[in-house]
A and B are shown apart, each in its own frame.
Chain A
Amino acid sequence: EPEVTQTPSHQVTQMGQEVILRCVPISNHLYFYWYRQILGQKVEFLVSFYNNEISEKSEIFDDQFSVERPDGSNFTLKIRSTKLEDSAMYFCASSDRGYYGYTFGSGTRLTVV
């Protein structure tokens, strides 16, 4: 079964440092997303991406966040200057039609110390 691949599975970084979280969506999917889940809380939408541009973003997705599809296979989330409150599980997802529901990757656990 096709899957969304995320790397690394766990990243520890110091406050103020930049991190890049990487995702390889399912190859024929056109819609890409980032969500996050703070421990013990609900999954929250960050950003959706289609046709090489952001389709929608949440209030969480401020100027510290950016997304990029640098080549035909990778989809990245960059946090420029991490804060303690950015500690969470970050899930990448992809979809071929959007409204059919997504396939999520296994996540990157980001710990900011």
Chain B
Amino acid sequence: RKEVEQDPGPFNVPEGATVAFNCTYSNSASQSFFWYRQDCRKEPKLLMSVYSSGNEDGRFTAQLNRASQYISLLIRDSKLSDSATYLCVVDPAGGGNKLTFGTGTQLKVEL
């Protein structure tokens, strides 16, 4: 089983749609979880941390289910500018020494 697994997509959605991405991780002892965004040939940029209680930042909502080792990201009211690859990222040991990245899910928002 891969350490962090994501559906590669692409997800092609119309502007204004709601889209959800899922991710599973293999190490049940993992401590911290993040969603990063990566534009083509650019660096990853932190979108949001993910907490067990769930958290929201504007149009973005992240959820963590530790029992199922499952992380999700929901994007509401998609914009053209949301087109990017969304990376599920896990910190296995906590403390930030090392991040494990998924391969990413590509999102294309269309007119």
Contacts and interface: CB of A to CB of B under 8 A. Distances in A.
Nearest to B47: A101
A56 B98 contact: yes
Contacts of A42: 87, 101-104
Interface residues on A, range: 20 to 34
Interface residues of B, number: 24
A41 B49 contact: no
Given A106-B43, A107-B43, A97 B96 contact: yes
Interface in B93-111: 94-104
Contacts, number: 56
B44 A99 contact: no
Nearest to B6: A42
Contact of B43 (A56, A99, A100, A104): A104
B34 interface: yes
Contact of B103 (A41, A48, A106): A41
Interface string A85-107: 00001010001011111111111
Contact of A31 (B32, B45, B96): B96
B24 to A, nearest CB: 15
Interface string B65-101: 0000000000000000000000100010011111111
A65 interface: no
Contacts of A58: 98
Contacts of A18: none
B29 interface: no
A43 B49 contact: no
B18 to A, nearest CB: 25
Interface of B: 31-32, 34, 38, 41-46, 49, 87, 91, 94-104
Interface of A: 31, 35, 41-45, 48, 55-56, 58, 89, 91, 95, 97-107
Given A43-B99, A95-B96, A106-B43, 11 more contacts: A42-B103, A43-B38, A43-B87, A45-B99, A48-B98, A56-B97, A91-B44, A98-B95, A102-B46, A104-B43, A104-B45
